[in-house]
Structure 1
Amino acid sequence: MLDRVPALLALLVERPVSLYAVAVLRIGYGLLYLVFLLREFPHRDEIWGPGSPWTPVLARQLFDQTGWASVLTLSDSRAYFEVCYALAVATSALFMLGWHTRVVSVLFAVVVASFHARAILMTDGGDNLILLMAVYLVFTACGRRWSLDARRAGLRAAAGRDPHGLPGTTGGLRHHLRDARLPVVNVLHNCGVFVIAAQVCFLYGSAGLYKVQGGTWGNGTALHYALNLHLFQPWPVLSRAVDSHAVLITAACYLTVLLQVAFPFVLFGRLKYPVLGLLLTMHMGIAVLMGLPLFSAAMIVADAVFLPDRFYRSLTRVWRRGARPTGTGAAAPPPGAEAGLVPAQSRPAG
């Protein structure tokens, strides 16, 4: 056991893991929050603005008790709120695109935390998960793949310049500082990925164990009651049609509990792939049948952290082959070209 410690330390310090996976999380949660803010744009004042029944004064009184904070309560001015909302939309879009991700990831976390705290009585499990992931992604190098940062660094490398924005011949203190920075970035990134994976495992495991304690899940009737709640009936006809199959409902109850309890124990084998596929189906069913698209999408994006980078690289190759015009005879890129296009995440312009 002890002989594996040096290898684990080397993995933690020398090489960032799951770069494509955290890029998917960045794109997914940035897009989700952007769509969420645009979707609620007509109702923004009633939810988060000065015209909300949960006034800024009440919110600040609650913050004094809970320790939360929000930039939206710094002023009661409507103009200030509109500026904050516009900046939140822009921040979500820039985070999704991966533009100066180091700085924008912090701003995105502040945006999510501020909007979450301002209307905390209206949040659900999906909002809580997005908030946690926004904070965790601050510590990851989520802009190294599929981002504007990666594209800009690739162009610099192709032009013979340092991908970090430093001249190629620079030495001395700046060179040593950059070399010393890389292990710290790798450690923070790898620890962030581990915390994200552990969070998802804890979420599934605790949800499954909680269901086991309930009698309705034990006798297979929990989904029957859920499908007959008016609050979770966006399509009443569809809900009644699904609920009419008693055997299907019972099997879905047992399968849901089994998947959630077993999920943390199947991550280190090939069994995780069919389990992730079944969880994807489950979340899509929740989105359609119960009208919880934000929660389901947040869970689906979180599950993407467990797919290896070779899976995402294969998707990239398939995309490039599909986008390449037929009959052009374009040559394949030389070995190492892909790595040159996605070097380490660049620093924001000073």
Structure 2
Amino acid sequence: MSADQMRTLPGPAADAAAPAPDLITRAFTCLTERPISLHAASVLRIGYGLLYLVFLLREFPNRDEMWGPASPWTPSLARELEGQSGWHSILTLSDSTAYFQTCYALALVTAALFMLGWHTRAISILFAIVVTSFHSRYLFMTDGGDNLTVLMVMYLTLTDCGRCWSLDAHRRRLRTSAPVMRPAVSARTGPLPVRQQAVLVRRLLSTLLHNCGMFVIAAQVCILYGAAGLYKVQGSMWRDGTAMHYVLNLDLFQPWPGLSHLADSHQVLAAIAGYLTVLVQVAFPFALFSRLKYVLLGALLSMHIGIAVLLGLPEFSGAMIVADAVFLPDRLLTRSHRGVAMPGWIHAGETL
């Protein structure tokens, strides 16, 4: 069929005769046309904002000894470590107590605003600076949960995590619902004005960054689980089923010794739990595109709750549970959202 004949075909026939786009074109179109997992990104924003706000409030009585000038790890020692580790903290810019108290108050406000989604693009950057600053101020107190939180809040600066369930979404809805006098549309054809072109480019870049950020978050969680499972396989205690016994008898991870001893008394169940932990972590990256994913997410949720209760690591478990939400589809989150009583501005702020 000649090119002239293809031009004379009706619309659907011409579309069918047109060559299908290549893989790179389809991938670029997928990344730039529509933002994915907007509600999952909002769950990540609310989850990490709430976790860090609760963390700062819980440590409020101990803030001077942990991060302030009264800390055994003095600001001068922290600055010396920064030169070796590459981390930087706004808390070490001054040794003044008043400066530290101001930074702590601003950190509380930033965490609350990030959780609520107020001017999220700018606040997400400030929140990332706050989290990395407190993390690098005393690296020796951090654990795996803190490391994951730092990574996630940095990735969230790329995403449009304030599009749904936020004050930004509520403000955007009020602005669009207000009557606006629009000028008459001109029938003139030609290139778009510079302002409209800038808006289109900004929207394309925003969508591209958001989708890439969500893909990176999902990849980070998959790498974390896969690496953790493969690392456990190399240990003899995980292979022979005795790892849970030794974990439950560590004095450092016994917030309730009686509960730990009760769990350890069921040795067969403890061995099964150890094997299932390794199996779920190794299998999870390979089950993302099947319905088995939801079964594994439920198993991981139970595992993290057990870690929080039995080992006394609620921050680590909370960070992992929030990270797992990246794999929940928006239709499931919106359905769950409608069944839960929420403040009116949250319902009004939903944009999808």
Tell whether the structures are fold-level matches, with TM greater than 0.5.
yes
Partner of 1:193: 214
Are 2:351 and 1:342 aligned? yes
Cα offset for 1:105?
0.1
Residue 174 of structure 1, CA deviation:
2.5
Is 1:71 aligned to 2:109, yes or no?
no
The CA distance in 2 between the partners of 1:177 and 1:23, in whole Å, is 26
Amino acid at match of 2:210: H
- How do 1:80-99 residues align onto structure 2 when only pairs under 5 Å count? 80-99=99-118
Residues 87-128 of structure 1: per-residue CA shift (max 9 Å, x gap): 000000000000000000000000000000001110000000
- Helix, strand or coil for the counterpart of 1:140? coil
Indicate yes or no: 2:343 matched with 1:319: no
Counterparts of 1:221 and 1:319, CA distance in 2: 41
Is 1:215 the counterpart of 2:232 in the alignment? no
Q: 1:143 to 1:323 in 2, by over 3 A?
A: closer
CA positional deviation for 1:3: 3.9
Gaps of 5+ in 1: 162-166, 325-337, 344-350
- TM-score with structure 1 length normalisation? 0.89
**Which residue identity lines up with residue 273 of structure 2 in the other structure?**
A
Work out the number of aligned pairs and report it. 324
**Maintained 8 Å contact 1:160/1:168:** no
* C-alpha distance in 2 between matches for 1:49 and 1:98: 28
What secondary structure, in the 3-state scheme, does the structure 1 residue paired with 2:340 have?
Answer: helix
In structure 2, do the counterparts of structure 1 residues 168 and 70 end up closer, same or farther at CA, with 3 Å as the change threshold?
farther
- Residue by residue over 1:216-274, the C-alpha shift from the partner in whole angstroms, topping out at 9 and shown as x without a partner, is 00000101001001100001000000100010000001000000000100000000001
Q: Which amino acid aligns with 2:56?
A: L
**1:157·1:340 contact (CA, 8 Å) conserved in 2?**
no
Return the letter of the residue paired with 1:278: A
* Distance in 2 of aligned mates of 1:309 and 1:187: 18
Q: Percent identity?
A: 63
| Cα distance in 2, alignment partners of residues 99 and 215 from structure 1 | 49
Compute the RMSD of aligned alpha carbons: 2.1
**3-12 or 92-101: bigger deviation:** 3-12
Aligned residue number for residue 346 of structure 1: none
CA 1:175–1:168 in structure 2 vs 1: closer, same or farther (change >3 Å)?
A: farther
**Aligned residue identity for 1:82:** Q
Partner of 1:117: 136
Question: 2:310 maps to what in 1?
Answer: 289
Distance 1:207 1:58 in 2: 32
Residue 131 of structure 1 corresponds to: 150
User: What secondary structure sits across from 1:319 in the alignment?
Assistant: coil
CA distance in 2: counterparts of 1:323 and 1:70, whole angstroms: 36
Alpha-carbon separation, structure 2, partners of 1:89 and 1:22:
21
Match of residue 19 from structure 1: 38
Q: Structure 2 residue aligned with 1:308, among 324, 329, 335?
A: 329
| Pairwise CA distance, 1:64 | 1.1
TM norm structure 2: 0.88
Please tell me whether residue 143 in structure 1 is matched to residue 162 in structure 2: yes
- Asked whether 1:154 is paired with 2:163, we answer no
Deviations 1:149-197 (A, max 9, x none): 0000011111145xxxxx8559843222111111100110000000000
Partner in structure 1 of residue 12 of structure 2: none
2:14 equivalent in structure 1: none
Distance in 2 (alpha carbons) for counterparts of 1:294 and 1:10: 38
